[in-house]
Amino acid sequence: MEAIIHYVEDLQFACFAFVFSIMALQSRRDRTIRFVCCSYLLATLVSVIDVTLPHPYSPLTNAGILTVLSLRYAVLAAGLVYFTRNSEWASKISFVLAGVALLLTGLSFTALAGPRQLAIYYFVLAWQQALLVVVVMRSSESSTRIPRVLLAFLFLLSVGYRLNQLHFVLSAKTAHDIWLRNLGLFVNGTVLSGVLPFTVVWMMNARDHANLLQQSLLDPLTGLLNRRGLNEAADRELKRYSRSQQEFALAVADIDHFKKLNDQHGHAFGDEVLVDFSVICQTELRSYDVSARSGGEEFMLLFPLTSLDAATTVLERIRKRFEANTPLGSDPNTVSIGVTSTRGRSGVTWAQLQKEADKAMYQAKHLGRNQTIVYDAASETAL
């Protein structure tokens, strides 16, 4: 039974080493996958030794295998540290412990060779796997939380397995001890070797998915939300409003004469103007306000828990700062803004608010530009 478990584990390590090698070749700049690949190549080296050398192993062979395993955990720690961007000290300690494991091979030629030497090795490996738990749990990244918790659980199981091995080599080896050893061997050999790599891949994919989702919601030029991101934010705000009836405001801002700016100074200059306006918006708005580039030179600003008067005050500050930020030698940077709010109305929709803010913005254009106009919902006209 023990031999079968070992062979299954060896085959799994070889397969995952092959898969991670292909992934590393395809993503050569991804240091995490390179470290993980190296750790599984080291595990495969142990598997080759396990298959080719006769059993039982000599003390020196045992020491060599456990030293390679220790180096494997140190390399894996380096990969996880790079991925989580914290706990670099844990990786350094793990490599120091790998150095200790290398020095322990010298005990193979002394009277300490045998159970006591193995016990020290297992203690070192347990510490290294405990450090892996620390690395994955110290990260605060929400998108990878679930796979990181699972990884920590798997590493804790492996710590328990190593401590069980330590107990076994120093114990009287009762039937209960043998049963615990076989159970630990099964868990570590058939579960951890199979589940652990899938969990690592899951963790990396979770971050990639979160990054792609974030990118799909952002405007690449300004870093503000795009229309899709704005619609999601608006949906959340409307749901909150339907529950609490707490007022929020929506503004549409359109940069004046933007086509003329592009024609006279070039698209690069126009992009700078868009970025300047977005920076002003971000600095003037609160952390929970929402700013978005809805298309071209048009921006939308969402003010949760804000009255129409308060939103108008902020919008006027933005308008004046934008005009004052005009580059030398250029016509004044101006923006026309229309603003509306829910004002306690029931059944108000996002499309309705956009239409009202648009009407107010076009009224600002009609009245000479470079001003903020408030939409009057009662009279259905813009003032």
> What secondary structure, in 3-state letters, does 329-370 show?
CCCCCCEEEEEEECCCCCCCCHHHHHHHHHHHHHHHHHCCCC
Could you tell me the pTM of the whole model?
0.74
pLDDT (tens digit, 9 = 90+) per residue, 111-158? 777 788 889 999 999 999 999 999 999 999 999 999 999 999 999 999
Look over the chain and give the mean of its residue pLDDT values, rounded to a whole number.
90
E runs forming strands in 94-167: none
Its CATH architecture, for the domain 227-382, is 2-Layer Sandwich (3.30)
Query: What DSSP state is assigned to residue 58?
Result: P
pLDDT (tens digit, 9 = 90+) per residue, 240-292? 999 999 999 999 999 999 998 888 889 999 999 999 999 999 999 999 999 99
The number of C-alpha atoms within 13 Å of 378 and in the hemisphere containing its C-beta is 3
Which helix (H) or strand (E) segment holds residue 375: the answer is strand 372-376
pLDDT (tens digit, 9 = 90+) per residue, 31-87? 999 999 999 999 999 888 888 888 777 888 888 999 999 999 999 999 999 999 989
Torsion of CA 91, 94, 99, 105, to 10 degrees: -150
User: What is the DSSP pairing of strand 335-341 with strand 372-376?
Assistant: parallel
Domain ranges of the chain: 2-216, 227-382
